[in-house]
Amino acid sequence: MEDEDGRIFTGCNVESASYGLTLCAERVAMFKAISEGAKRIRRIAVVADTDALTPPCGACRQILWEFCGDVELVLSDLTGAQETFTLSQIFPRPFDASFL
């Protein structure tokens, strides 16, 4: 995750035996960025050791939308395959504060 000042914030999956308490790398990076004072996120990269490029899960999409808006999203794997989207392309009609 890169903020408007070019700072990079990393995350990793933090897994728990109870599964429900597990955190994905995207949310870890987002909360780390917030805790370190990032104001605006410019770009998010999701890199996974998988056969198919892996987008953020639903919970991560929601958090990313709330804190980043329609940010650039880069999906990549360890071979260098890559696709770039905006968050709205993979998360149509997101729920946010405008519905409250």
Beta bridge pairs of residue 50:
none
Ordered structural domains, the chain, with CATH: 2-99 (3.40.140.10)
Alpha-carbon distance of 66 to 96, in angstroms, equals 6
CA dihedral in degrees (84, 98, 38, 29; nearest 10)?
-60
Q: What are φ and ψ of residue 47, in 5° steps?
A: -115, 125
From the candidates 2, 4, 26, 83, which is the catalytic residue? 26
- Please report, in tens digits, the pLDDT of each residue of the chain (100 residues total): 999 999 999 999 999 999 889 999 999 999 999 999 999 999 999 999 999 999 999 999 999 999 999 999 999 999 999 999 999 999 999 998 889 9
Active site residue 83: no
pTM for this predicted structure: 0.90
